[in-house]
Amino acid sequence: MDKNTVVIFAGSKLPTDAHHTVLARVFARKIGLEKFNLAYGGGNMGLMGEIARTAQSANAEITAFTLKKYGSEEQLMDAKVIEIDGDDDDRFKAFSQIKNLAAFIAFPAGPAGLVEVAQAFRHAAYENGPPLIIPQIGHYYDGMLASFAASAQSGLTKEESLSKVRPWKMIHTLQQILALE
């Protein structure tokens, strides 16, 4: 992976609102067209599969970081597969060690996605990791973003750590969002 890579978090199911899937595909296409590679937790289904397929069709190289316990899960054709012998925390550690890691991107997801978003925020805020980018699709992370802001306002989190969490609006390129240092 010589190009910059983004790690995405997304649901293993599709949202009931089909418009959210369409929007996720638009963002995913931007990832590939802007010459980023994509890494994710693997699998060929749900929103994460849709995003990976769409980015791949726009020339992103795809790397699936799969957990050994899910070894039989079907993967995208031509995706590089890295098998992790461990749990979700071990997978996040592997994500955080990707060379040229540009960002974590949080797409709509269920409870596992919330955990990954919290890990990415912690990594960005306390370990000088890459930013956490949240595409503006529905209101999936509004509560979590409010919690991050409240923790900063009350002195529990450094105020400057909030600059590591960035909304991604449809009108912006990923490059523009990353340039907001």
**Predicted confidence (pLDDT) per residue in 13-64, tens digit:** 999 999 999 999 999 999 999 999 999 998 888 999 999 999 999 999 999 9
> CATH number of the domain that 118 lies in?
3.40.50.450
Question: How far is it, in rounded angstroms, from Cα 106 to Cα 165?
Answer: 10
**What global pTM score does this model have?**
0.93
Domain count, the chain: 1
| 105 Cα distance to chain centroid | 3
Q: Which helix (H) or strand (E) holds 82?
A: strand 80-84
Start-to-end CA span in the chain (Å) = 24
**Range with top average pLDDT, 25-34, 73-82, 107-116, 167-176:** 25-34
Residue 115 CB-density burial (10 A; 0-12 exposed, 13-18 middle, 19+ buried): middle
Average pLDDT taken over every residue of the chain: 91
| Per-residue buried b or exposed e for 132-147, using 16+ beta carbons within 10 Å of the residue's own CB | bbbbebeebbeebbee
pLDDT of residue 59: 96
Residue 23 belongs to domain spanning: 5-178
Q: Which helix (H) or strand (E) holds 83?
A: strand 80-84
pLDDT of residue 10: 94
Residue from 114, 160, 106 nearest 136 by CA: 106
Residue with tokens 């890295």: 82
Question: How far is it, in rounded angstroms, from Cα 12 to Cα 5?
Answer: 21
Residue 71 — φ and ψ, nearest 5°? -55, -30
Q: How confident is the model at residue 179 (pLDDT cuts 50, 70, 90)?
A: confident
Q: Are strands 37-40 and 5-9 parallel, antiparallel or unpaired?
A: parallel
